[in-house]
Amino acid sequence: MDLKEEPLGQCSYMWDMNEEPVDNIPYSSFQSFYMHPLMEEIPKIFHPYVIHIEDVVGDGNCGFRAIAACLGYGEDQWLYVKEQLLHELLDAYIGNETVLTSGINEVNLSLLFSQSPAPRQHWMVMPETGILIANKFGVVLNCLSNEGCITCFSIWKGPEHFQHHKTITIAHVYGNHYVMVQLEREYPMPRISAYWIRYRAPSAVGWQHMYTQRLQLYEQLNPCDRDNAFIHIEESC
């Protein structure tokens, strides 16, 4: 998959479960055998699907490090990811300003820094940055947290515009840090970001159709979940 001239390097994670995925078994039949101290920071409905958690350096760039790991670059390529997102923001600035409104200034400031550690004003801002990630890299981004979960699709392009696409997942843990999470099988997909619902181009609606069953599964398993589509999360490593 072409992810915009990806840098050399491999993601450092390894599969933690060697069993073949089992399909068509009710959700309640699965048990997670993956043990990690951060599992308690991930909503329980995702536990049966977690096969790996990769912690990253907590230097104020952990959100970008987690995304770099998800994309297979390895967390040390966080600056490349940050630069690509800044290009995405500026190349379509008028459109992004319409979507993000006043939040665009905060996102822009968060991307204008290339050092480690990063001061607070340069930490990753979610869910706004999630929109840029989906648009730039052609991925479906799931962000998990005990405070609320969201899914970010590309706003401007539908799945037919990408020869291949992948779903990636990060988790906001302890209220101040991001990590990479790997989920397997047809896991339930959190509610779609309200930014996408409100501003998506007609050509992008295919994402919702493609993942309807998994979006509905999340609603069935989490019927009391509050509307979290505009939850504003900052990393604070």
pLDDT in single tens digits along all 237 residues of the chain: 344 444 433 333 222 333 343 344 344 445 555 789 999 999 999 999 999 999 999 999 999 999 999 999 999 999 999 999 999 999 999 999 999 998 999 999 999 999 999 999 999 999 999 999 999 999 999 999 999 999 999 999 999 998 889 999 999 999 999 999 999 999 999 999 999 999 999 999 999 999 999 999 999 998 766 544 444 444 444
Helix (H) or strand (E) holding 141: strand 140-144
The helix/strand/coil state of 126 is strand
pTM reported for the whole predicted model: 0.83
The Cα 197–Cα 228 span in angstroms is 13
Task: Please check whether residue 4 is in contact with residue 83, taking contact to mean a CB–CB distance below 8 angstroms.
Answer: no
DSSP track, 54-68: E----SS-HHHHHHH
Written as six digits, the tokens of 79 are: 């600056």
**Domains present along the chain, CATH in parentheses:** 40-234 (3.90.70.80)
